[in-house]
Amino acid sequence: MKNLRYIAIEGPIGVGKTTLAKLLAEEFQADLVLEEPEKNPFLPDFYKSPNRFAFQTEVFFMLSRYRQQSELAQQDLFTQMKIADYIFAKDWIFAQNNLSEAEFELYQSIYSLLDTQIPKPDLVIFLQASVDVLRKRIKKRGISHEKYISGRYIETLCQTYNHYFFQYDETPLLTVNCTETDIVRNHDDYKEILKGILHMKKNQIDKHYVSISSQ
């Protein structure tokens, strides 16, 4: 594997992507690239009425993240390491679940044009967790519009993520089962993830899986 200059973290809602991204950015003295869901004006309405607002929500996210990734592409990744709390394919994963067949076909035609123009990470970290754990974490963080997210929606999202990353081969991939972890309160959990990252870099492998159980 080449030097890790760009790491992206992905996973379902509430799994801890941003928390891990911030810890790794501090660890590696890297620039932090965060998605900005709060800037999507359609998101609160989407959670209340998914069918009505899905297409507007997904297109806004796609274009917003494309602009952010385009700016990243213009920067010198060899000058400063980057840590992101999403990959561009996140839009495609969510759109696949949320859009009708006709909407998704239109969405995908736009997405396929944009995806070829953005940089690919040197490593993607996929975080997994159980539906129950995700629901608890979503409730704990208390974002008002997220109270409308159903357990069924989270379960479907987890299944889509698992399917996507099971066949993922665009970049090296580190999969972390963090159902029983707390990287904020338990530093050993964070160290296990960091160990997995360094293991991939040292051994130049394409895929690695880390299962962490808090004691």
Q: Catalytic residue numbers?
A: 85
Query: Residue 177: is it exposed, middle or buried by C-beta count within 10 angstroms (0-12/13-18/19+)?
Result: middle
Structural element, H or E, at residue 63 = helix 50-73
CA 15, CA 126: separation in Å to the nearest integer?
10
Which SS3 state, helix, strand or coil, does residue 150 take?
coil
Single out the residue of 19, 197, 49, 40 nearest to residue 123, CA to CA.
Answer: 197
Longest CA–CA span in the chain (Å) reads 48
Q: For residues 120, 21, 93 and 67, what is the CA-based torsion angle, rounded to 10 degrees?
A: -60
